[in-house]
Amino acid sequence: MSGRERIDSAEVRAIDLFVHELVVGLVLLDVCAPETDDVQMHVATLAHRLRQVLADEKSRTLALELSENEIWHEHRPLVGASLQAGALLRLCHERRVATLGFAAGLTPDEILRFLLLLRSPSDLWAFHPNHLAKVLESRGLRHVHVLLRGQEPPDAAGGAEAARRPALRRYQAMADYLQRSHAEAVHGHELDTAIAKGLVEQALEDMDREPSSLLSLATYDDVDTFTVGHSVRVALLALHVARAAGASRGQQLRIGTAALLHDVGKSRIPNQILFKQGRLSREERAVMMQHARFGAEILLEQKGLDPSAIGAAYCHHMGPQGHGYPGPVLPFEPSGVSKLVRVCDVFEALTAVRPYKRALSPLEAYTVMFRMEHGFDPAWLEFFVKSVGLYPDGTRVRIDGDREAVVVGQGENPTKPRLRLLDSGAEVSLTEPIDGRMRKIQQVLS
């Protein structure tokens, strides 16, 4: 990667983080009053994120261009930022917002006032072209700039977004559902678990048509401070392995739903711990470890939910003989679904970026996992490695000859998966010559 590419990547990641914190801010306002410390600290973090972005920007305003499904900056798609931004994009689409601008000098109080304006159903009128400028001025939003559709020439997203759109909508829907479920669980309301099952069924239909489409989006989602992206990715991994294992459609639905809901107990963890951008202290970790028991308690209260989801929520930090947490009163063996979700959960956590660690490669993650004595059911771990491979489906890679591709399937040789070339769309295998000679993977692209 060149120096310019590294700078561009750093800038995009900083913007991704800012947008992601906007999304978290909207979710926080679903569960906390505006005057609470959690909200006040979060909008202060958002103002700090913007200062970091603008320190590297040529202009003094961060302009975000919005289509129905994706966020753009300077005509470049922010795919990672878009994945969990379904609620933000929906609110902006309903209000005909085409561009959001955040200028230097934006204060935490302005951010809070703008988020409250954006999410208020009674303030829809404020986004009429005849009212908007006066409303922003009257509410002291001097550093927030909004352009509505029709106030600027449309900039077509082109074929790239159109190709991503079905999978992007599906990923956003799953993340959006988990964000809403978090808020419902906080307030003690019943979760609509039928929606979870429906989302898993739709994801399976997508995977039938294009197995790597959803998994390829998961490689973008590395700014997940809210944990919903983690749960989406665990569900997609579990579905991939279940399909490879020949599970029936009904079994796949149960496995995917259990994996999607496995971390719902985090809704009862205090926000200052859940959103902490760093390693937890021993005391904080003890609190966080309660999320498995909380998750089982929440799911026990839901009507018509398959028991495997309750077991996965309780057991996803347990080994096959009950080692780990929460420690059961009596010894028991977790179900097969729980054992699979456990493998997927740990693999995703190891291979994902966190504020306090780098992402491990699949090979590094497998090495860690095989060293975890009593950590996993050995049959599920071995099958997981075989079906996911060294280069999981959806991984974007560069092969020698400087061509980029996405992994679309595994072969007998784990170093030579099947690929789809991004410049031509052709599917190829590294076990055969490409352009007259044998090729190999040079680099995994982030």
The string of pLDDT tens digits covering residues 142-155 is 999 999 987 654 45
% the chain with pLDDT above 70: 91
The string of pLDDT tens digits covering residues 402-440 is 888 888 888 778 788 888 888 888 888 888 888 888 888
pLDDT at 80 over 50: yes
The string of pLDDT tens digits covering residues 272-328 is 888 787 788 999 999 999 999 999 999 999 988 999 999 999 999 998 877 889 877
> What's this model's pTM, rounded to 2 decimal places?
0.85
The string of pLDDT tens digits covering residues 174-204 is 999 999 999 999 999 999 999 999 999 999 9
Output the 3-class SS for the chain. Answer: CCHHHHHHHHHHHHHHHHHHHHHHHHHHHHHCCCCCHHHHHHHHHHHHHHHHHHHHCCCCEEEEEECCCCEEECCEECHHHHHCCHHHHHHHHHCCEEEEEEECCCCHHHHHHHHHHHHCHHHHHHHCCCCHHHHHHHCCCCCEEEEECCCCCCCCCCHHHHHHHHHHHHHHHHHHHHHHHHHHHHCCCCCCHHHHHHHHHHHHHHHHHCCCHHHHHHCCCCCCCCCHHHHHHHHHHHHHHHHHCCCCHHHHHHHHHHHHCCCHHHHHCCHHHHCCCCCCCHHHHHHHCCHHHHHHHHHHCCCCCCHHHHHHHHHCCECCCCCECCCCCCCCCCCHHHHHHHHHHHHHHHHCCECCECCCCHHHHHHHHHCCCCCCCHHHHHHHHHHHCCCCCCCEEEECCCEEEEEEECCCCCCCCEEEECCCCCEEECCCCECCECCCEEEECC
